Every structure is written in C-alpha cells, then in structure tokens.
Structure 1
C-alpha cells in the first residue's frame, strides 16, 4: 500500500485529499506545516508527497528544497493557487516532480499521483545488488553468488521494502503494512521470525548482521 504524505494547512482541503486517496487504496497521512513534514519524513518512509506551497512559517518551496537536500527521492507534487509560470519553474527546479494549480479536480490529482508513482517504479533498478546478493524485481528472484535462493513471497516483500527505503529505520508496524497489508492480523513476533529467515539468506554471518541491522526500540534498517 503506497504511503502518501499530505502537507496542507487548510483542514477542509486536507480532509478531502486524505479521504479521496484512501478510497483509491493509499495510506494518506496529513500534516499542516513544514516542520511537521520534516519530522514525518525523517521518522517514517513515504512513497510520495503532496506539498502545498502556501504554508504557515516556511513555504512549500523551502520544504521541497530541504527534502531533496536530505537525500529523499520520493516524488513530490506541489499544490498551489499560484498560476505564474515563474512559480512553476521554481518548484520544478528545486526538485518537485509535478505542479498542480488550485482548484483542481480529484480525478486529475489521482491521475497525477498514479503517474508519479508509476515513473518512480520505472526508475527503480530491475536488479539490486549488494555483496554477493542479487534481488531481481522483474523475476521476483533472490540469488547469492549467482545461485538461486528459495524465498517466500513475504520474505521477498520485506526485502523489497528494505531496499526501497534503504538507510531508514522501518518499524514492525510499517513492515506489517508492507508485507501483509492492514487487513491481516500478524504479530510482531511473526515479523521478527521472517527477519531472521531473510538474514539467513542474505547475510554472510546471520548472527552478526551486516546488511539488515536491528535498531533497539525502533525496528530494522537495511544498509546494503
């Protein structure tokens, strides 16, 4: 389930965006200013950001610039009532992927969100390599030293989530959403068990993890 961060200080607009995206199957989170956006993106992974330009305090241009400086690569779609070409050019030059002017139709925004997520997926490497490991997303295969490794569907989803958010801590709750979805009841213990299984397949020494490390009290982080 793709996670979308909505940065919008108008409660009515934020609620409409959140509810509309939720109906499309997205996990939408709302924050009201730039500081909250920074906190949200540093503590939790998102697949796309909808960013209003006119925010209290720091405007959306500053927020977009900071997200890119922090090395975050998820698509950013800026939302604004400003229609001047110079504003659109500025947004795109500082790292936004798209620029939507208000008022906009929910249908148009949904289409732009889908297109941005589709482009991001297309830009992802077909095969991701680290150490002696190859993760083939096209074939949904795991290989070690060129030899195929048996991997379950859940294990592959977990590994794909870690690679997609490499360098960031993922909580057990986030991993549950990534691998099983929100409609399935799975215990934290089950997540830990699957992590152990993944380590056995990717780590030179599973007892001393190099790639899939535990972060006490927070979750796990992939460092491949």
Structure 2
C-alpha cells in the first residue's frame, strides 16, 4: 500500500513516516500543499494523510482541489483544531476521516486500516493463493504450515501480488508502487528482491516459480493445479 503524507512539521512527518514504514506501507513525505498536489496528481496513492495547516496550499483547499479534479483516494485529515465547526469544514471539503493533534500512533494506524478496508469490500481479511497465506493485520506469512520470515520489501512485494492476483506487473510498475518517489532505485533492485522472495518461498515448500516471469512484461503469481 502506498501512502502520501503531507505535513509541514518535519519532526512529526518523519516520526509518522517511520512508524508507517515499519507497518510495511510505502510512504512519500512532502512538507507543503503545492508539492502535495503535484505528487497526488502524478502518482496513484492508496491513501493520503493530510495536515490542515500547510504552506503554499492549505489542507482544506488541497482536499477540495483533489475532489474537484476527480481523485477518489481516501483522505485522512490531521489538525490541531478540535471544534465541531473545524471537523465539519474538513469533512465537507472531501476528507474521509478527521484526527485531532496530538494523537496516538495506534489510533492513526487503526483509522488508516479502516479507510483502506472501505475500498476493499471484496478482499478477504487474509490474502491467499493456493497454500500461500498472508494476514495484513498481523503481517504473518506462511506457505502451508511453514511460516515465512520476510524482509519489509519482500513482504510488500508479496502483499502487492496477492492483492492483484493474476495481474502482470513490470519492474517499473513495482518500483512506482512499492518505493518512495524520492528514493526510487533502479530496476535491478526489483529483480534482486524477487529472487530473494522466490528463494524463501521455495525453502518453505512452494514451487520454484510461484512468482513467475512473463517474459517481456514482468511478474505475476503463477496459477497452480490443485
């Protein structure tokens, strides 16, 4: 899952980005509304965390602009203003949820999960592909009865494939979805992580090519005979 965090307080932004990254989200961080608009208009995000008080373009205006432009991405608004009128203003601007500072990181994470679930009514709580199982709530991964210990990026890759079963993704598409925009490596990095993930899946009893290469196109989960 790829998130955009728009927060002008760098201390808060860095702490939030670190916490969300630890939960296997890919997070782009920007510190003003104009840059936030540029990123949101350029990259497809699963959710935006948006502060109200921002330089360049304030959060309320940015939220309105995103909705007017047709962006349906869930928006969680952050603000130090806790009056009913302020909450109504944010929600009427198009925000899906509203959290008042200071807030608990666990509550923020829970609200993010709740917003992401709204767009996944057809997605089961545990993602499965034959004997492969991934629980996004606990981050547990197993093949059959064998648990898998994955690196954060291996986990993100596997979750992404499980959320988009049978779809083929190029290395460039995987980079765009699973790496922060400002720290995007070259495509050989994707190849290395895919290789490591395949090795761990095979060690747990999965077929060697469970993540198969579609030559000239990219990668996908392989359909297996039951």
Q: TM-score range by the shorter chain?
A: 0.5 to 0.7
Q: C-alpha distance in 2, partners of 1:3/1:173?
A: 15
Match of 1:55 in 2: 54
TM-score (norm 2): 0.60
Map Cα deviations across residues 35-94 of structure 1 (whole Å, 9 max, x no partner).
101111122110000000000122100000111111111110000000011111111112
SS in 2 for 1:122: coil
Runs of 4+ in structure 1 off by over 6 angstroms are 152-155
SS in 2 for 1:82: coil
Matched, 1:18 2:17: yes
Q: Is the 8 A contact 2:3 2:25 kept in 1?
A: yes
Structure 1 residues 184, 172: CA separation in 2 closer, same or farther (over 3 Å shift)? closer
Map Cα deviations across residues 171-207 of structure 1 (whole Å, 9 max, x no partner).
843335659x963259xxx677236x9xxxxxxxxxx
Q: Is the 8 A contact 1:155 1:194 kept in 2?
A: no
Structure 2, gaps ≥5 residues long: 130-160, 179-188, 197-212, 221-226
Structure 1, gaps ≥5 residues long: 125-137, 140-151, 160-170, 198-224
Q: C-alpha distance in 2, partners of 1:32/1:48?
A: 16
Out of 147, 151, 166, the residue aligned to residue 156 of structure 1 is 166
Describe how 1:120-159 pairs up with structure 2 within 5 A.
120-122=119-121, 156-158=166-168
Structure 1 residues 172, 62: CA separation in 2 closer, same or farther (over 3 Å shift)? farther
- Structure 1 residue 34: deviation in Å? 1.0
TM-score (norm 1): 0.61
- Structure 1 residue 155: deviation in Å? 7.0
Matched, 1:184 2:194: yes
Q: How many residues align?
A: 159
